Amino acid sequence: MSFINYASREINCKIVYYGPGLCGKTTNLQYVYQKTAEDAKGKMISLATETERTLFFDFLPLSLGEIRGFKTRFHLYTVPGQVFYDASRKLILKGVDGVVFVADSQEERIDANIESLENLRINLKEQGYDLDKLPYIIQYNKRDLPGAMSVEELRRELNPTNVPEFEACATTGEGVFETLKAVAKLILVDLKKGK
């Protein structure tokens, strides 16, 4: 649910990065944070455990510039990927405008990807959203690892509805901004339709 403020001429949208544990959601945000100019970003917040696993969420506010005199802001959130944090994951999805599903390309993580994607669908439904009607993008992360499955195989398992998909290596930043731009664009197009 975006927030349009005519008084301060701002539009705020919320993007959530979803995916199984250790798939690279936080790494995506960290790369965006590192590569964004100081004046376009706010502080990145990570609510993580002592071992750097996301406990509640990561948060990164980005300011992209103006459209028709309106400042366009995106709030990027990640969810905790570990299965037992499901209650927290549901909370982060509240008011979401667009979703990036970060898949781990390694063969041994395919079941975790499928489980997380089903979990995303269920949790969205609980909040009254339909994944097929939301701006939604898949990122195949960790393409650089030797155990990575082919994109065709991943697509067959994870992207039956043919949503936009991107290959990425979040640690080096490859594909990170392409993913972000694509989901932001889908959200703005959605807003344009006046949904």
Partner 1 sequence: MSNPTLVMYDEEFQEINEVIGRLLKEANATVIFLVDKNGQLISGVGETERFDTTSLASLTAGNIAATGGLAKLIGEKEFSILFHEGEKDNLHISIVGGRVILVVLFDNRSSLGLVRLRVKKSSEELSTIFENLMKKSEEREKRGSSDFPFAEITDDDIDNLFS
Residue 28 three-state SS: helix
Q: Does 91 bind partner 1 (CB under 8 A)?
A: yes
Please tell me what DSSP assigns to residue 192. H
Shortest distance, CB of residue 135 to partner 1, whole angstroms?
Answer: 11
Shortest distance, CB of residue 43 to partner 1, whole angstroms?
Answer: 5
Report which residue type is found at 166.
F
Distances (CA, A) of 87 to 54, 107, 126, 144, 164: 14, 27, 12, 32, 28
Dihedral sign computed on CA atoms, order 155, 161, 167, 170: negative
Pick out residues in 138-177 that bind partner 1 (CB under 8 A).
none
Separation CA 28–CA 171 (nearest Å): 8
Identify which range of 31-39, 85-93, 110-118, 157-165 contacts partner 1 by CB under 8 A: 85-93
Q: Which residues bind partner 1 (CB under 8 A)?
A: 1-8, 11-12, 14, 42-43, 45, 47, 56-57, 59, 61, 64-65, 67-70, 72, 75, 87-88, 90-92, 94-95, 127-129, 133, 181, 184-185, 188-189, 191-192, 194-195
